Structure 1
């Protein structure tokens, strides 16, 4: 079963760590907290920087938030790390049998339901900001 990329949870972890940390959040420090390779952290940090959520100081300077914690929603993070391809959370299987009544109609029957489910999820993510989440870590 294909899952949504872990980039989202890693990105939220990174931003939460920056939000609550009293020390410089270097790539190595963040990688230690996430328990993953620093290369993955750098890649995701680049996405967060491109989205205008973090500032990255070269060398041992670390990273900082570019917006207040209450101005960064989980939806912002979700969009920043491009969790889904082509704006479609759900994919359809390739080439169902057009001779079968289910095969030729399944995509049309499910498309509206899937779009509504994605919209509901995105609305929920928009309701939670980094400040609310970070409050659970201190």
Structure 2
């Protein structure tokens, strides 16, 4: 399986602008720029897209891990915060923090903790990121 997205950039770093599109059409010529990445400009940025991908991927991975334990969650809500830090050579994504809330009526805390740890380690987006990934996971019963 392969998925594809594309980006077009025009101009210099600070005064230029770009657009991002996906083959699915979910993003179509979606605007991004220096301002959307480093200030409060309107549009998206690569870090936000990585955060969205990680939140979605982790939620699905956690659902799979819970299923292995015979648990069907009522709801999994994940927010991913990506940290972009300046380093000697420019910028690096240095960390991702996952805030997770899972509703499992009568949930088993030990099974939940194992599933969240396994999902964090096994999520394909977690595997591709060369960053420290932390998590706060709450079981709602």
- TM-score of the two chains, using structure 1 as the length reference: 0.31
Structure with the higher fraction of residues in helix conformation: 1
- TM-score of the two chains, using structure 2 as the length reference: 0.30
Greater gyration radius = 1
